[in-house]
Amino acid sequence: MENKDIELEFSIKSGAPEKQRTACVVVGVFESRKLSAPATDIDRASDGYLSEILRGGDMEGKAGSTLLLHKVPNILADRILLVGLGKERDFHEKAYRDAIACAVKTLRDTGSMEAAITLSEIPVKKRDVAWNIEQAVIATQDALYRFDRMKSKPSEARRPLKRVIFAVSRRGELKYGEAGLARGLAIAHGISLAKDLGNTPSNICTPEYLAGEAQKVAQAHGFGCEILDYAACDKLGMGSFLSVGKGSDKPPHFIVLKHEGGAKGDKPVVLVGKAVTFDAGGISLKPAGEMDEMNYDMSGGGAVIGAFRAIGELGLKLNVVGLIPACENMPDAKANKPGDIVTSMSGQTIEILNTDAEGRLILCDALTYAEHFDPDVVIDLATLTGACVIALGAHPSALYSNHDPLAREIEHAADHAWDRVWRMPLWDDYQDQLKSSLADMANIGGRPGGSITAACFLWRFAKKYHWAHLDIAGTAWIGGREKKGSTGRPVSLLVHFLLNRTLK
């Protein structure tokens, strides 16, 4: 599968909005009919035309509302698009991103081929110009993203949006805007790749296919890439990982990506991504409802590959390793059975009480393999537990860590990326739930605190380094037949974490 990003040209510009020669200038309106600063400039140049329209009741400024105006007097642009921003006191990060997305979708639906968007000039509390531009680029690409390559007749915009200019208030802000633009494009490309991988159905996106996509990214950006097959994993003693794929006719692949952008000898950051390309639950078969979404169970691995694409585009001066254990979890005669005991690469034995708790079985061997790289820190990300969705819903990813400074680093990166996390407890109190009378541990701890006991299980394999676990079960994709799709999270979080590390 070739990853095709939206062919969209971005640029940054300062200057009076009324003097922009473009198909459309986008300006914001707060409730109740309060013009943003760029809208005020246009209103003044047009002798109060916008104010007159608003007084007529055509728009109140409610979030999500738009009004397209043609031939505004004394304005060089063909059209002016008013976008509702909601209440000014509530105009924070989400409202800003939503306004950008609303504007872009309206431009797409009304056939504008280019536009100057002044929403990027509107201050967002505690955020700077670079943040505004970066988030505007990401929100724009997200709004325009489509995955329709599996349809016999892919949909096409009548006149696709081809050029977007984001405005900054002063010329002195241009360099900061350009930096934000570069970051935003790299992150958006990484997110798009993660989405493409997640949305590709499992009859196509197999472990072998995912390995091939990782190799393409490696070749494009000069990364090292090694694919460990069954025999290589077996020689390493990855009995837990290999047990999960026994019920599938698709052989497992353990993908290793290496970016050597830092100094030789510097300890790498290791990213570990769960990649179960389809999870039927194994013998502990999942219910039929929503099983069609289980191709997204490789979203952790897809996000690692997407992050590596962004790393390559940004040329980060940092050593980074990506580990992606990829397999299918199917109910074949050879599959794991409840009550089976397997031996992990660490030598610890695991009693499998539920074959649908398979993600931790593949991650534990990957976490042990991470020791080979003498890592500075290890972060794993996985669509691990339904319990996480019950606890936190679809907004933050759950964060667990055995090292408080690392957890704070991730929280800081998540806030700046607006790809948020919520730290959960990793207390010894929960460890008793994983006791087994026949093995070193069980692979489940019962329903109470299910996301926590899953993290406690992984912690047992990550004691030799600073480690964090992100449960992205609620954030990696959106469910439902009509709107189903990957979100590409947490690519943005990972990239910001790595960017911050280059500044140390």
- Whether 17 maps to a domain, the answer reads yes
Number of domains within the chain: 2
Say whether both 117 and 230 belong to one domain: no
Q: Does position 4 have pLDDT exceeding 60, yes or no?
A: no
* Together in a domain, 202 and 62: no
- Residue 178 falls within a domain, yes or no? no
Is residue 490 included in any domain, yes or no? yes
Are 310 and 223 in the same domain?
Answer: yes
User: Is residue 64 in some structural domain?
Assistant: yes
Q: Which of 360, 420, 460, 501 is catalytic?
A: 360
Residue where the block lists tokens 């970066």: 134
* 140, 204: one domain: no
The DSSP call for residue 33 is: T
Active site residue 235: no
Together in a domain, 97 and 242 = no
> What is the DSSP-derived secondary structure letter of residue 287?
P
C-alpha span between 161 and 192 (Å, rounded): 17
Question: What is the domain-level CATH number for residue 94?
Answer: 3.40.220.10
Tell me the average pLDDT across 145-149: 92
- Domain boundary (169, 202, 227) is at 169
Nearest to 321 by CA among 455, 225, 449, 432: 225
CA 435 → CA 9, 302, 342, 427, 442, distances in Å?
56, 32, 15, 15, 6
- Tell whether 185 is covered by a domain: no
Contact 225, 322 (CB under 8 A): no
Per-residue model confidence (pLDDT) at position 5? 45
CA distance 121 to 128: 10
Please, which pLDDT band fits residue 504 given cuts at 50, 70 and 90? confident
Please give the average per-residue pLDDT across 17-24, as a whole number: 94
**Angstrom distances, CA of residue 103 to CA of 84, 117, 136, 202, 430:** 9, 8, 11, 34, 47
Residue 29 in domain: yes
- The pLDDT, as a whole number, for residue 84 is 98
Residue 129 pLDDT > 90: yes
3-state secondary structure of 259: strand
Q: Is the pLDDT of residue 316 over 80?
A: yes
Q: Give the model confidence (pLDDT) of 246-272 as tens digits.
A: 999 999 999 999 999 999 999 999 999
Active site residue 286: yes
Question: Are 22 and 148 in a shared domain?
Answer: yes
pLDDT of 6 strictly over 80: no
Same-domain check for residues 429 and 362: yes
pLDDT digits 0-9 by tens, 39-94 = 999 999 999 999 999 999 999 999 999 999 999 999 999 999 999 999 999 999 99
CA distance from start to end of the chain: 37
Residues 327 and 473 in one domain: yes
CATH of the domain at 262: 3.40.630.10
Given the residues 258, 286, 337, 484, the one annotated as active site: 286
Residues 377, 276: one domain? yes
Q: Does some domain include residue 186?
A: no
Domain range for residue 266?
191-502
pLDDT tens digits, 400-426: 999 999 999 999 999 999 999 999 999
- 233 and 283, same domain (yes or no): yes
Convert the pLDDT of each residue in 203-249 to its tens digit: 999 999 999 999 999 999 999 999 999 999 999 999 999 999 999 99
3-class secondary structure, 484 = coil
Give the largest CA-CA distance in the chain. Answer: 82
Length of the chain: 504
H-only helix segments in 421-473: 450-459
Name the E strands within 32-139: 34-35, 66-70, 79-87, 114-117
Cβ neighbours for 174, distance < 8 A, ≥ 6 positions apart: 12, 13, 14, 168
**127 and 160 share one domain:** yes
Residue 148 shares a structural domain with residue 200:
no
Residue 461 CA to residue 463 CA, distance in Å, equals 6
Q: Quick check: is 56 in a domain?
A: yes
